[in-house]
């Protein structure tokens, strides 16, 4: 067996890009010579998992990361790892267990996905942002000193931000009719939304560093190359459908009601707190200008909102 870079959630929002980029870097980096990438998935038979399995230097395993132990990490010779956790209320319990196992197994470096930088604080109203703050506090404690880590704080993912726009365009093309365009964006606040693939590329470059110590305990803010407002999203939609958008609802977080309805086992008030998640964006705190300089130096994001909308329409 060879030294292993583990990618938990390899077929998820950011994991796929991490695996694809690491596969390329394996052959271009002396640091990764002799390493392999182990990509975790819940189903080896999914098309996404099969595509990753065909990449050079990549092995795909069917394994739920929440069940990983220190013994499992030692057995697979994991030396570095990437994790993009879920956002369920038990996130802290499960992700902290993963990090503890990594610490006990002697894993050298972990790159994790956090959330909107302005929300990662103990008093954020959205529960999952407090969870990310707590995870970062845990990793930054003296007890975890032996485990180097970097936390990535994307200010907003393009696919989430633009999904309602893509849905309206597809609906109009199929039926000639429009429902209300419900955007989490405000009309005029600029937000530097970032493509998930760009986040994965940056994470892979961190994992390929000869010595990640310079990035240890860093919290990097990630944005796309340009800002976009709600009004600009509406104009993009109109360009695609060739007519005016009839009805727009800005700052619309009504989708959270649906999330609460399908998770009756969870505290409704906790789930509904997600409605506060976009407030910092509406306040103008999530612009592209907040991107960390280290991100721009190592693997600057390139995909624009227009690129993201095109990908959603083709998907």
Q: What's the pLDDT tens digit per position in 12-22?
A: 889 999 999 99
- Same domain as 295, residue 239: no
> What is this structure's pTM?
0.96
Is 162 part of any domain?
yes
Q: Confidence band (pLDDT; 50, 70, 90) for 34?
A: confident
**Would you list the DSSP string of 184-242?**
SS-SS--B--B-HHHHHHHHHHHHT-S-GGGGTTEEEEE--SS-B-HHHHHHHHHHHHT
Is a pLDDT exceeding 80 seen at residue 275?
yes
60, 22 in Cβ contact below 8 A? no
Q: Per the domain annotation, does 257 fall within a domain?
A: yes
Burial of 218 (0-12, 13-18, 19+ CB in 10 A): middle
Model pLDDT for residues 232-248, shown as the tens digit of each residue: 999 999 999 999 999 99
Q: The domain containing residue 146 runs over which residues?
A: 4-155+196-222+288-301
Q: Is residue 35, in this structure, part of any structural domain at all?
A: yes
136 and 233 belong to one structural domain? no
Dihedral through CA 305, CA 201, CA 218, CA 61, nearest 10?
Answer: 120
User: Residue 315's pLDDT band (boundaries 50, 70, 90)?
Assistant: confident
CB contact at 8 A, 110 and 149? yes
Same domain, 69 and 215: yes
In a domain? residue 315: no
Q: For residue 141, is pLDDT > 80?
A: yes
Q: What is residue 28's predicted lDDT score, i.e. its pLDDT?
A: 81
pLDDT surpassing 90 at residue 304: yes
Q: Are residues 163 and 151 in the same domain?
A: no
Q: Which residue has the tokens 């302005």?
A: 118
112 closest CA partner among 36, 27, 225, 12 = 12
> What is the tens place of the pLDDT at every residue in 105-133?
999 999 999 999 999 999 999 999 999 99
Q: Identify whether residues 170 and 212 lie together within a single domain.
A: no
Give domain status of residue 306, yes or no: no
Residues 99 and 170 both lie in one domain:
no
Same domain? For 205 and 93 the reply is yes
Say yes or no: 134 and 9 in one domain. yes
Residue 178 has pLDDT above 80, yes or no: yes
Report the pLDDT averaged over residues 17-35: 88
Asked whether residue 86 falls in the same domain as residue 151, the answer is: yes
Does residue 72 sit in the same domain as residue 216? Answer: yes
- The pLDDT, as a whole number, for residue 33 is 80
| pLDDT exceeds cutoff 90 at 71 | yes
Q: Is the pLDDT of residue 262 over 90?
A: no
Token representation of residue 168: 């309206």
Q: In this predicted structure, what is the pLDDT of residue 151?
A: 98
Residues recorded for the chain: 315
Residue 307, in any domain of the structure: no
pLDDT at 226: 97
| From 26-30, 184-188, 224-228, 296-300, the region with the lowest mean pLDDT | 26-30
Same domain, 23 and 53: yes
- Could you tell me if residue 208 is inside a domain? yes
- Could you give the number of structural domains in the chain? 2
Count of CB atoms situated within 10 Å of the CB of 160: 14
Establish if 308 belongs to a structural domain. Answer: no
Q: What percent of the chain has pLDDT over 90?
A: 91
pLDDT of residue 20: 97
CATH value at residue 104: 3.40.50.720
pLDDT, residue 31, reads 75
Average pLDDT, the chain: 96
- What's the rounded Cα separation, in Å, for the pair 110 and 217? 10
Do 39 and 85 belong to one domain? yes
Examine the pLDDT at 166 and tell me if it is beyond 90.
Answer: yes
């Amino acid at each position: 067996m060879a030294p292993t870079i583990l990618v938990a959630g390899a077929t998820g929002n950011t994991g796929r890009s991490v695996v694809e980029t690491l596969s390329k870097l394996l052959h271009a980096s002396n640091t990764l010579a002799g390493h392999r990438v182990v990509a975790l998935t819940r189903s080896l038979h999914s098309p996404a998992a099969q595509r990753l399995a065909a990449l050079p230097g990549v092995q795909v395993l069917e394994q739920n990361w929440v069940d990983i132990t220190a013994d499992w990490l030692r057995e697979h010779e994991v030396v570095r790892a990437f994790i993009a956790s879920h956002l369920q209320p038990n996130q802290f319990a499960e992700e902290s267990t993963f990090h503890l196992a990594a610490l006990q197994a002697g894993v050298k470096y972990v790159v994790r996905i956090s959330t909107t930088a302005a929300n990662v604080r103990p008093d954020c109203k959205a529960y999952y942002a407090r969870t990310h703050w707590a995870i970062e506090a845990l990793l930054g404690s003296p007890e975890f000193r032996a485990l180097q880590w970097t936390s990535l704080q994307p200010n907003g993912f393009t696919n989430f931000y633009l999904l309602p726009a893509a849905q309206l365009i597809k609906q109009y093309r199929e039926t000639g009719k429009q429902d209300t365009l419900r955007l989490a964006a405000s009309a005029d606040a600029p937000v530097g939304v970032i493509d998930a693939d760009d986040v994965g590329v940056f994470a892979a470059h961190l994992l390929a560093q000869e010595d990640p110590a310079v990035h240890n305990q860093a919290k990097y803010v990630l944005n796309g190359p340009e800002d976009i407002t709600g009004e600009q999203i509406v104009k993009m939609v109109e360009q695609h459908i060739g007519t005016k958008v009839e009805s727009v609802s800005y700052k619309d977080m009504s989708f959270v009601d649906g999330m609460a309805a399908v998770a009756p086992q969870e505290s409704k008030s906790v789930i509904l707190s997600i409605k506060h998640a976009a407030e910092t964006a509406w306040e103008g705190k999530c612009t592209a200008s907040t991107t960390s300089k280290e991100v721009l130096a190592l693997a600057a994001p390139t995909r624009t909102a227009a690129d993201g909308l095109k990908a959603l329409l083709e998907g």
